[in-house]
Amino acid sequence: MANSESIAREMVDAINRNDMSRYRQLLHPDYSYRGGDGQVQRGQDAGVAIVQMYRTAFPDDMALDVQHIHTAGDTAIIEFIGKGTHRGELAGIAPTGRRIELPVITVLEMRDGKVHSEREYMDSAYLMQQLGVMPAPATA
């Protein structure tokens, strides 16, 4: 059975290659995803749809640049920088042409050699600031 780090790396590689067939194969049939809004989405189709949403928004140069992968048993924590140029719609936001670099942490729990659950943490306000649709906070 593959270990949690190798599954995590393969998942990132599939996303970076835009290989949704392989990405789907890495997701457990009972896969669940919880993003920053706290909403839980379930199923392999939901996982693929989330990646495709970002692929649509950053179609030309989207990349996940892994900084660290930490593991403990069947859990992998991936720290990465999501990078890309906003050339497609993202959650109702028209393309801005701006380049973003966003630190993200995702926690993966494995079952049966596949990603069973994923919890992702990012600063959405920082993303909106980079896209130019939200002002940066005032400094003291």
- pLDDT, tens digit only, all 140 positions of the chain: 469 999 999 999 999 999 999 999 999 999 999 997 889 999 999 999 999 999 999 999 999 999 999 999 999 999 999 999 999 999 899 999 999 999 999 999 999 999 999 999 999 999 999 999 988 777 76
And the tokens for 105? 């942490």
Model-level pTM?
0.91
CATH class name, domain 4-131: alpha beta
User: CB of 66 within 8 A of CB of 91?
Assistant: no
